[in-house]
Each structure stands twice: as C-alpha cells, then as structure tokens.
Structure 1
Amino acid sequence: MVVSAGKARSRRTSVAIASALGLTAAIGLGAEAGSAATVPTPAHVVVVVLENHAYSQVIGSSSAPYINSLATGGANLTQFYAETHPSQPNYYAMFSGSTQGITDDSCVKIGFSSAANLGSELIAAGKTWASYNEGLPSQGSTVCSNSSNKYAQKHNPWFGFGNVPTSTAYTFAQFPTDYTKLPKVSFVVPNLCNDMHDCSVSTGDTWLKNKLGAYATWAKSNNSLLVVTFDEDNKLAGNRIAAVVYGQPVKAGSSSSTTYNHYSLLRTLEDMAGLTTHAGNAASASDITGIWS
C-alpha cells in the first residue's frame, strides 16, 4: 500500500511527538515499526546486481558515466560493503539475510532451503515479487548454466529456496515495458558479460543505460526506485562496493557515509514494502536512511 505524502508527514510528526513524550508504545509502534517509518513506501523497486568491482572502479570512473549520473541525480552510498567471497554467498546474503552455508559458486540443489527470504516474505504478505534473469532459457528454468548466452544460476539465489516458486523467475526479455505492471519488488540480474563479470565496466554501464534507463526516468516521477549495486569487490578493496539509489523518493545529489551492507539493503527493502518480518541478519540490520526526500 502506498501512503500519500500528507499521511506520511502526519505519521512522521506523530512518531516524533510520541517519541519525545516517551509514548511510542501507546501509539502501537515497536522498535521495528519505528525503523520502518524512516524509509519511503515506493510503488515499485527494481534492484540490479552487477559483479566483482570495487567502489573506486565504478564511482568516479569515466568508464561508468551512466551509473555516475544515477549517483549524481540520486543517492550514493559511499561506505557500502559485501559480506564475503566469492559471488554466490553474497547473493544469498542480500536475498535472505544469510549465506545459507554456501562458500563457493557451485550450482545448488533447487529448493534446498526453507529459510525466510525477501521473495517468500513478500508472497506471504500478499505482495508481488519477481526476478528477471538475463540468459535464463525460459521462465522458471532451473538449469545451472547456459554458456551460449552467458547465464549462470549462481547469481540467482531464489532458486535455492523451496518457498519461492520457480515461476517467479522470469527471463529478462519478460521485463515489462509498462512499468506499472512491475511487481512491488524485483531483482534484475544481467548475464556474465553485461554484469561486468566477463566484460568491461563500460559494457555493463552501457547495458544498464540501454535496458533500464527508461525505467529510471519513469521511476523519478512515479514513486519508484532503481537500486544498482554489486555482489563483491575485486578482492583488493576490503569488499567496499558501489551502491546507488535513484528515483522519486530519493533526495537528488545526496550521499551517505554510514556503513551499510547487503543485510542493510535487505532490511530496507523489507521495510519499504511494509513487511513485518525480517529474514536472517536483516532483523538486526539498520535501514538505509539520510537519502530520502
């Protein structure tokens, strides 16, 4: 449910007054609800995950003009970190609040875990969820890889959870052109070239502009968000990675030097969707704040 600006301001004012008077419990706000009140309620959020580059390889780089334009016109999280190496555990961390015991990039058993995750939480709450996976042979396909179009299941953690229907995994060709038809929250995972894993920063940046630039423009005037981040760094920068947030709810030109990680992102996505549950380490993570208009 999207709350009107007037109602949101009224609620924030009520929270501030109640907090000052020590009346938080009296108005039915627990600690988690109070945290959720600090983030917006966008109609749609699209998260794009790119690969294996440190913050300094992307932000300020002439090879990534589009991502930097998003940072300038939106918000730049300057101290955002991944959890580990290699790739796959980080994807599970940002989707479920835990690496789920995964330590490598091996293809996992489909539905091996029943742990809570962003997809299962959204579905349980009656909200919409989807992933859009470039190179996926067909909707719901559970293949480990497809070398002809550089698809890799290791970057798609939703397949590891039995409580997330495989049918919610779409090909990228199925990404809606009518953005009002997007789910509440969705992830976009480019193939191994366009995510910068096998190809250059410039290749990934150009792909992002060409494939999601129109959505970013639309999001700016339709209460929606585009989040662009990475799975891990190049193993040379302490796992500090780029994370950029763009859209109408974002204060243009803002930045935050607060230390955040994938668990913080997951917590924020959960709270923006109005969920009352938090998966794994997201339960103790802080919302991303200080960048909202």
Structure 2
Amino acid sequence: MNHLKSFIVAISLSALLAGCSEAPASVSTVQSTPANSAETDVELAAVKTARFPNIPVKHIVVVIEENHAYKQIVNSSNAPFMNKLIKQGALFTNAYAITHPSQPNYMALFSGSSQGVKDDSCKKPFQSDNLGHQLLKSNLTFAGYSEDLPRVGFTGCTYKGYGRKHNPWVQFTNIPAKLNQPFTAFPQQFDKLPTVSFVIPNHQDDMHDGTVKQADDWLKGNLSAYADWAMKHQSLLILTWDEDDFSKKNQIPVIMVGSMIKPGKYNERINHYNVLRTIEDLYGLSRSGASRNSAPITSVWK
C-alpha cells in the first residue's frame, strides 16, 4: 500500500510539472503493461486526470491498413499523403501489433482480446464486450464502413475485395447489423459521423494486395477532406496498421491527426490495446479485455 501511495504521488507530481512547461516533441509515459494489474486503474487515473485533452473529442475515425512495417511507410516516397499526415500530427515511433496474422489484431483493437482467434478463417460471432457495444451502452454512436461490403449487415466471409477477417464489429452479436455499413455510406457531412467509426479499405486499397502508393492515393482521395475538417472541428483521425510484414518485431506506424494533437514524434511503447484504452478513456467507457491493464496514450494532447 505504501508503495502504491508513493507511486501515485510521483505520477501526480510528474503530471503537474508537465502541465507547467511545454512538453518535448518526444515523450515517454507509463509502460503498456504495469507489473501489478490490480493497481492499474488507480495508477492510470492520475495520469488520465492531468494529461487528457480539456475539450471533448467530437468524432474519431480509425482507418486500418494492412501488413506493412514502420520502415516501409515512414519517409517513403510512395506514401506522400501518409507522410504529410505524420508532419501534421503525432507519429508513434515505438508502436507494435499484438500478433500475426491479421484477424486477431483487428479483434484486439476492437475488443481488447484476440478472442482466441489464431488465423484468418471465418468465425462464428462472439458475445464478448467491445468498443462498439460500450459506445452504444453510453448513448454514444458507432458504425463501421468497409469498402466492397455488398450491403448493410452482410455477414458473408468474402465479397470482391472485402474480407470479414478485416471487419471486427461483424464478429460480435451485440453490435446491431445496421451498423455494419459499406464505405459508400460514409457521411460526406462529417458532423453526421458517429462518435467513433472504423474505415476498412478493400484488399487492393489497404496494401494487403495492392501497393503502398495505391493505398496512399486511396486514403488521400477518400479521407483527406475529413483529416482537414478534423483539424478545425475537435475531431481525430487515427491511422494504424493491423500488423507489419510478418516479421518477429511486428513494428507498425500509428499516426494521429486532429485539432487536439501536438504534432511530433512520440517514443512511448504502445500497441493496439493502448489505442483502444485511449478511445475508451476519452469517452469514459468501461474497459474491454486487456485494455484494462494498458496505459492510455497521454503524451500527445494539447
């Protein structure tokens, strides 16, 4: 108990000092998995109180790309738009996926658990808690938009460039079918967006089968207007990858752009669970799965 009190005091004092001076471009924060998970929410509450944005985040759009490592994207001449986003926002230089292959990473980002999934085969739906369900329980809104999804609520395994393995919300019985939307339904009036939405390009446009340049062009053509709008409307774009190019290291780029983000490079070690925990804490949601034991991202906020 004395150790816990000392830790909280130290964290609170550190946060107070950080609030009195301008943070550097590269900031380290609490480790992703604290040693004593029983103390996690107490310890992280001190960080959250001092270091989260002091304005509400009206909308978050999460875009998930495929199967490319940090070094294949950052400073790549084939990804000029993505590197423009890096300059505008926050780049995490020490970010990692959870595992291989794709599907368990999507599940982890959305629900705090791989749900025991170890491959990309089509699964029966799960009943576990998840981000979308928590948003709905809190009277907030959620929707997922997948390119090439043939119709609202489609539960099939594949269609053209769409793969259910890249669509985590369709994997849960507690997400209404009407929230599983084709990308053609993505609102062009961005103030009509749900509180949190996920965007999944098809296999050609997410780098799974197509090139980095093709994915960069698609992102620019379809999300640049939202990225610009977010900078003026208290909203956030999160660009992440499911996993790297199947290496053991599994380092990926994670980019955040929005009006509440301090541009810069951040070296804290994060993974999908940290990103999930951050979204949950921004909206005061209950934590799902391993996000309970993962630090929220607190270094990037103005």
TM-score of the aligned structures, taking structure 1 as reference length: 0.86
Equivalent residue letter for 1:281: A
Q: Is the 8 A contact 2:227 2:258 kept in 1?
A: yes
* 1:287 paired to 2:296: yes
Q: Deviations over 1:11-42 (max 9, x none)?
A: x99x959xxxxxxxxxxx95554444322331
* 1:57 paired to 2:72: yes
Alignment equivalent of 1:236, drawn from 247, 260, 271: 247
CA distance in 2, matches of 1:169, 1:58: 29
Alignment equivalent of 2:62, drawn from 41, 47, 51: 47
Identify the residue that residue 187 of structure 1 maps to in structure 2: 198
* 1:215 paired to 2:226: yes
Give the deviation of 1:236 after TM superposition. 2.7
Give the deviation of 1:173 after TM superposition. 0.4
Alignment equivalent of 2:85, drawn from 49, 70, 84: 70
Aligned positions, number? 264
Identify the residue that residue 126 of structure 1 maps to in structure 2: 139
Identify the residue that residue 246 of structure 1 maps to in structure 2: 257
Q: Is the 8 A contact 2:60 2:238 kept in 1?
A: yes
Equivalent residue letter for 2:268: T
Q: CA RMSD in A?
A: 1.8
Q: Is the 8 A contact 2:101 2:246 kept in 1?
A: no
Alignment equivalent of 1:151, drawn from 162, 184, 195: 162
Helix, strand or coil for the counterpart of 2:123? coil
CA distance in 2, matches of 1:244, 1:235: 20
User: Measured at CA, do residues 249 and 131 of structure 1 come closer, stay the same or move farther in structure 2, by a change above 3 Å?
Assistant: same
Give the deviation of 1:237 after TM superposition. 5.9
Unaligned runs of 5+ in 2: 1-11, 18-40
Q: Is the 8 A contact 2:143 2:198 kept in 1?
A: yes
Equivalent residue letter for 1:48: V
Q: Is the 8 A contact 2:240 2:255 kept in 1?
A: yes
Alignment equivalent of 1:259, drawn from 246, 265, 269: 269
CA distance in 2, matches of 1:270, 1:231: 19
CA distance in 2, matches of 1:184, 1:36: 20
Identify the residue that residue 30 of structure 2 maps to in structure 1: none
Alignment equivalent of 2:179, drawn from 165, 168, 185: 168
Identify the residue that residue 224 of structure 1 maps to in structure 2: 235
Q: Deviations over 1:147-188 (max 9, x none)?
A: 2xx111100011111111121111100000110010111110
Unaligned runs of 5+ in 1: 1-11, 18-28
Q: Is the 8 A contact 2:48 2:298 kept in 1?
A: no
Identify the residue that residue 283 of structure 2 maps to in structure 1: 273
Q: Deviations over 1:55-96 (max 9, x none)?
A: 000011111111111011111000110011110000000000
Q: Percent identity?
A: 44
CA distance in 1, matches of 2:157, 2:47: 38
Q: Deviations over 1:174-232 (max 9, x none)?
A: 00011001011111000000001000000001100100000000000000000000000
Helix, strand or coil for the counterpart of 2:297? coil
Q: Is the 8 A contact 1:44 1:182 kept in 2?
A: yes
Q: Is the 8 A contact 1:107 1:153 kept in 2?
A: yes
Equivalent residue letter for 1:268: T
CA distance in 2, matches of 1:237, 1:292: 31
Equivalent residue letter for 2:270: Y
Give the deviation of 1:274 after TM superposition. 2.1
Q: Is the 8 A contact 1:78 1:255 kept in 2?
A: yes
Identify the residue that residue 23 of structure 1 maps to in structure 2: none
TM-score of the aligned structures, taking structure 2 as reference length: 0.84
Helix, strand or coil for the counterpart of 2:64? strand
CA distance in 1, matches of 2:119, 2:232: 41
CA distance in 1, matches of 2:45, 2:136: 20
